[in-house]
Amino acid sequence: MSKIRAIIVDDEPNARVALRGMLEENFSEVEILAECKDVPEAVKAINKLRPAVVFLDIELPGYSGFELLDFFDEKQINFKIIFVTAYSEHSLRAFEASAVDYILKPVRLEHIARALKKIQHADQAGESRQYQLLKENFTASPDRKIVLQTAETIFVVRLDDILYLQAEGSYTRFYTTSHGVLTITKKLIDFEYLESNGGFFRTHRSYIVNLNQIKKVDKKEFILIMNNDAEVYLAQDKKNQLLEKITQ
């Protein structure tokens, strides 16, 4: 019986190690060819190694997992994707409506078994359309959520409830309407993918804001006043781009 050639794409080293361990110990039919920390690494590995399956995290630095297929022509997509996601069960309606395989974090053996069984019988042409439908469903969903993990707690936060993000060295502070201020052990650059989802904009090297949470713009002082009355810096070279976005 031929092996299922696979790669793992996740920016968290511990998550990659854990998933590899579960696959190697419990699913002998799977051969792990490589581990990648972001989409550009994954694109190179796919082109070089030709895997049959990609275990793909969604929250990745630079490009989100949803954007992986943007790097390939439709004829080049001869691999299947199993999304590995930390999104809440409530937000998984978009996955299920699109008939796309996923594994919910924390990863469980039965979820891996279910996903592997499904991909072995999936139609590749149909799956390409399903991935696009998933991206559309997810980005259009009014109750999109993000899972944020602090040192002590995991929070499920609606994107609409995020006021802005602020860089604090190797950390990012999320200012939210529902959970107050959450300090996350990731850099601000790791959340730039929020801009591609629409509604978020990087106004300064230290800030990403929710465009729907801006109360007013001080164009002379280059300051934004958010709905919680907090002041956020606006880089001079970002002013015109921001004004275009909020006046569309």
Q: Which amino acid is at 136?
A: E
Question: How far apart are alpha carbons 174 and 232 in whole angstroms?
Answer: 13
The predicted structure's pLDDT at residue 33: 97
Residue 231 or 154, more confident = 231
H-helix segments, the chain: 13-26, 39-49, 93-98, 109-119, 124-140, 239-246
Per-residue model confidence as pLDDT tens digits over 54-98? 999 988 888 888 788 888 887 778 888 888 887 654 455 556 555
- Poorest-confidence range of 39-53, 95-109, 146-160, 226-240? 95-109
Q: Which CATH class is domain 4-140?
A: alpha beta
The pairing of strands 207-210 and 200-204 is antiparallel
Find out whether 117 and 85 touch, Cβ atoms under 8 Å: no
Per DSSP, 58 falls in state: S
Residue 94 or 201, more confident = 201
- Given a cut of 60, whether residue 23 has pLDDT beyond it is yes
Please, which pLDDT band fits residue 142 given cuts at 50, 70 and 90? very low
Write down the residue that tokens 């002041």 correspond to. Answer: 231
Find out whether 52 and 80 touch, Cβ atoms under 8 Å: yes
pTM of the model: 0.56
- Given a cut of 70, whether residue 162 has pLDDT beyond it is yes
Q: Which amino acid is at 15?
A: A
CA atoms within 13 A on the CB side of 207: 22
For the chain, the average pLDDT equals: 84
The predicted structure's pLDDT at residue 112: 93
What's the CATH architecture for 145-246?
Beta Barrel (2.40)
Domain ranges, ordered by start, for the chain: 4-140, 145-246
The predicted structure's pLDDT at residue 149: 77
pLDDT average, residue stretch 222-245: 90
